[in-house]
């Protein structure tokens, strides 16, 4: 029942925001805007989408390696693509749970360990995005919006860094003499901590930890490069420099964090158009640009991910049937 309410609420929120984004759009103008798009900049965008997924896969592989050294970048790449595709198609962000379950089955890793690596991914994403946004705002002269909450953002950075550090040193907590008595009395809790700790052991190597941060930054920079190139394709090069493109990535990620429809349709367009409007982009052009970027990325990732899902012997129906009812692997 709760899942159904969440799904209905998500579609309702996304639908309302999509209506608000569309209500002043003159659709007759959109065809003219799309006809002027320079295809020279579109071709590299498709390749950059794939490169971005490679960086995602390389980062996640480093987090999974302590649990199973057999994991390859290609394996993590396929599973990342499959999870993102399922997020685009199914409600409730079931792609994350399905990705974790697929990985646990294929590589014989406890589910809670895989989930710990995904949690670290999300925390790291937010941390890196805030830092990139702060740099872009500083050197790109971006004001207003989230920059009005600078103190809150830096507080969030400190909290995220502390959270990641706590996860990294979870195994030290288990081994500490102050906690040994507690874990002897509750062995199941000890096992839980140990499995969670295994999911963040990739940070115990300075080299791997540095690479995890580097790949996270490169992953999001690829997204910024996509926005920048599409801006050139739409003739917005004078407005959308690389710094504003980084800011758009941050704003887009913030929009995607709001529960809504699969693929984040509605909330994504609404937020991004408001940002572009504040920079002087006309509403029709802003919608054309945002919708083009959104649909292009949606199609590329979904087609690639669905291919890998079926390659793994799964199907969309199987995934929905298993995970919509709270099924899946147990830890």
So what's the pLDDT on residue 154? 79
The pLDDT tens digits of the residues spanning 23-67 come to 999 988 999 999 999 999 999 998 999 999 999 999 999 999 999
Q: How confident is the model over 231-243, as a mean pLDDT? A: 95
The confidence band for 245, taking pLDDT boundaries of 50, 70 and 90, is: very high
For residue 167, the model assigns a pLDDT of: 77
In the chain, how long is the greatest CA-to-CA distance? Answer: 71
Average pLDDT (199-223) is 94
Which of residues 94 and 108 earns the better pLDDT score?
108
**What is the structure's pLDDT at 330?**
52
Average pLDDT over residues 121-146: 86
The pLDDT of residue 226: 97
Return the higher-pLDDT residue of 177 and 103: 103
Q: What's the pLDDT tens digit per position in 296-316?
A: 999 999 999 999 999 999 988
Name the nearest CA neighbour of 57 among 288, 227, 218: 218
CB 283 within 8 A of CB 273: yes
pTM for this prediction: 0.89
Triad 274, 277, 279: Cα angle to 5°: 120
Yes or no: say if 51 and 80 are a contact pair by the CB < 8 Å rule: no
Look at residue 19 and tell me whether its pLDDT is greater than 70: yes
pLDDT beyond 70 at 210: yes
Predicted confidence (pLDDT) at residue 220 exceeds the cutoff of 70? yes
Confidence check: pLDDT of 197 > 80: yes
Percent composition of the chain: helix, strand, coil (DSSP 3-state, to 5) = 80, 0, 20
Would you state the pLDDT for residue 190? 73
Q: CA–CA separation, 220 vs 129, rounded Å?
A: 7
Residue 140, pLDDT above cutoff 70? yes
What pLDDT is recorded for position 251?
Answer: 93
Q: Give residue-wise pLDDT tens across range 269-300.
A: 999 999 999 999 999 999 999 999 999 999 99
Count of H helices and E strands in the chain? 15, 0
DSSP state of 72: -
pLDDT at 145 > cutoff 70: no
State residue 308's pLDDT score. Answer: 96
CB 309 within 8 A of CB 319: yes
Pick 228 or 206 by higher pLDDT: 228
Instruction: Note the pLDDT of residue 259.
Output: 82
Is 293 within 8 Å of 240 (Cβ atoms)? Answer: no
């Amino acid at each position: 029942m709760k899942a159904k309410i969440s799904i209905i609420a998500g579609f309702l929120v996304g639908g309302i925001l999509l209506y608000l984004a569309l209500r002043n759009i003159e659709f007759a103008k959109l065809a003219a805007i799309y006809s002027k798009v320079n295809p020279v900049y579109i071709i590299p965008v498709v390749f950059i989408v794939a490169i971005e997924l490679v960086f995602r896969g390389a980062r996640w592989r480093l987090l999974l390696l302590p649990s199973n050294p057999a994991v390859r970048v290609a394996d993590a790449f396929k599973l990342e693509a499959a999870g993102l595709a399922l997020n685009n198609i199914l409600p409730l962000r079931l792609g994350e749970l399905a990705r974790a379950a697929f990985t646990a089955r294929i590589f014989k890793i406890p589910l809670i360990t895989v989930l710990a690596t995904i949690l670290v991914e999300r925390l790291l994403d937010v941390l890196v995005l805030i830092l990139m946004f702060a740099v872009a705002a500083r050197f790109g002269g971006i004001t207003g919006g989230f920059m009005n909450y600078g103190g809150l953002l830096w507080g969030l950075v400190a909290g995220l860094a502390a959270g990641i550090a706590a996860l990294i040193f979870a195994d030290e907590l288990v081994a500490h003499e102050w906690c040994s008595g507690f874990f002897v009395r509750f062995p199941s809790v000890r096992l839980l901590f140990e499995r969670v700790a295994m999911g963040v052991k990739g940070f115990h190597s300075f080299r791997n930890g540095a690479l995890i941060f580097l790949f996270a930054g490169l992953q999001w920079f690829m997204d910024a490069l996509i926005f920048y190139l599409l801006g050139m394709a739409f003739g917005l090069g004078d407005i959308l420099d690389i710094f504003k493109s980084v800011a758009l990535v941050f704003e887009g990620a913030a929009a995607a964090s709001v529960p809504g429809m699969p693929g984040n349709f509605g909330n994504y367009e609404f937020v991004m158009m408001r940002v572009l409007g504040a920079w002087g982009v006309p509403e029709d052009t802003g919608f054309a640009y945002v919708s083009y970027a959104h649909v292009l990325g949606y199609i590329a990732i979904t087609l690639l991910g669905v291919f890998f899902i079926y390659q793994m012997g799964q199907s969309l129906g199987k995934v929905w049937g298993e995970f919509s009812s709270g099924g899946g692997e147990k830890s």
